[in-house]
Copies of this chain bind each other. A is one copy, B any other.
Amino acid sequence: MTVGFIGLGRMGGNMCRNAIAKCGQEVLVYDLIDDAVEACVKVGGRAVSSVGELVAAADVIFTSLPKPENVEEIALGAEGIAALAKPGTVYIDLTTSSPELARRIAATLKEKGIEMLDAPVSGGPSGAEAGTLGVMVGGDEGVFAAHKQLIETFAGNVIHVGPIGSGLVVKLVNNLLGLVTVAAASEGLVLAKAAGVDPRKLDAAIRVSTGDSLAYRSLADRALSGDYTAAFALDLAYKDIHLALELADEVSVPTPMAAGTHNLMRMARGLGYGQEDPTAVVRVYETTQQLTIAEGA
């Protein structure tokens, strides 16, 4: 069996190197950036000269790409999977993309005898490097069962959540939850500080109370230190919440909490924080209220 990996960035590169180390198969690698390819070749990957060459040769193709547009191009473009992959190939997309697009691609590939799984990941570049990512998988259960072990070469928690597109729905809802909680924690910290409470004392109390959560902590750690260095940029999180809202639009479900967060993220982008950590939404509140959580905290 030959494995192919397209998209070797901060997420894809780490996943690919873990797969190379553990899957015991030949792994073909492709990326537009030479250094990204080189880093995978060094640990045993084999570079190919084009997407077309990779998709024609691989039995299982993974993609880890920035945006749905990139997925559409690799899956349905002139040199892509639908055009050049052989029947029996399995396509596993690790990108946080659109469920609607996943269903559309899967339907097209099915006609060519190609199965698809949508398998977005959770856990960030550090989880990708450690091989501990969570993966939410949508698609045929048999195909999932047959490839679970392969996915586990680079992930710690691989769950099947339903038919094609379901992995993405779950991922988008998970991110929506995290981002709304970050926005709520932002207004909570600014509210407490404006009401005369030391943010560090608030934080100590929240961490042992019912308001605690991973998302709360990610915000509080950054707001209290004032360091919004991004592992994952606000601009990318904005894409994620946009996809969640697009999904809500398709099924016409009201999402006032997600919409409120979306608007705060646009304000954060407008203020120039798009390349900082997503938790920089707190800086919108800090800016309008002219205070700083970290300062003198």
Contacts and interface: CB of A to CB of B under 8 A. Distances in A.
A251 B191 contact: yes
Nearest to A257: B184
A195 interface: yes
Interface residues of A, number: 84
Contact of A257 (B122, B183, B206): B183
Given A253-B187, A267-B254, A285-B254, A211 B201 contact: no
B159 A204 contact: yes
B215 A211 contact: yes
Interface stretch (A17-25, A49-57, A88-96, A160-168): A160-168
A289 to B, nearest CB: 4
A119 to B, nearest CB: 12
A250 B194 CA distance: 10
A207 B271 CA distance: 31
Interface string A154-196: 0001011111011001100111111011011101111110111
Interface stretch (A26-34, A37-45, A144-152, A241-249): A241-249
Contacts of A204: 159, 161
Interface stretch (A61-69, A71-79, A104-112, A258-266): A258-266
Interface of A: 99, 122-123, 134, 136, 157, 159-163, 165-166, 169-170, 173-178, 180-181, 183-185, 187-192, 194-198, 201-202, 204-206, 208-216, 238, 242, 244, 247-264, 266-267, 269-272, 284-285, 287-290
The 4 A-B residue pairs whose C-beta atoms are closest, nearest first, are: A213-B213, A177-B211, A180-B184, A174-B211
